[in-house]
Amino acid sequence: MSYRKGRRLEYVVRDMFRRRGWVVVRAAASKPVDLVCMKDGHTVVVECKYNKRYVTWGEVEPLVRLAEKAGAEPVLVLAERRGRPVLRSVEKWDVFKP
């Protein structure tokens, strides 16, 4: 069941970016990130976490390292009540707006 909820969250976030004109690639098996989003020379790598009260550095570190190597911005998505996504820039920890 949690796989389905996580996948559904990824699709919601994917569609959110696409509606705003981003090109989005969903990574199979979520390795090393869930989504890669590109628009106007800007790249964002996205990791989605469903049903998490907190996230450990061990879960975020691979996202940050990949973003550094790719020159991309790392974004973490946490699902709040009823699966509503909240996007956070890992570097600034403020709300990310696609």
The model's pLDDT over 11-32, given as tens digits with 9 standing for 90+, comes to 999 999 999 999 999 987 767 8
Between 5-14, 48-57, 87-96, the lowest mean confidence (pLDDT) is in 48-57
Report how far apart, in Å, the C-alpha atoms of 56 and of each of 13, 60, 73, 88, 97 are.
21, 7, 19, 15, 23
Cis before 32? omega within 30: yes
Q: Is 69 among the domain residues?
A: yes
Q: Is 55 among the domain residues?
A: yes
Given a cut of 80, is residue 82 above it in pLDDT? no
Q: Domain count of the chain?
A: 1
Q: Give the global pTM.
A: 0.87
Instruction: Identify the domain containing residue 27 by its residue range.
Output: 2-89
The model's pLDDT over 19-74, given as tens digits with 9 standing for 90+, comes to 999 999 998 776 788 999 999 999 999 998 877 777 888 888 899 999 999 999 99
Q: Is 96 among the domain residues?
A: no
Q: Is 68 among the domain residues?
A: yes
For residue 44, the domain's CATH number is 3.40.1350.10
**Cα–Cα distance for residue pair 46/53, rounded to 1 Å:** 18
Given a cut of 60, is residue 1 above it in pLDDT? no
pLDDT at site 83: 67
Q: Is 97 among the domain residues?
A: no
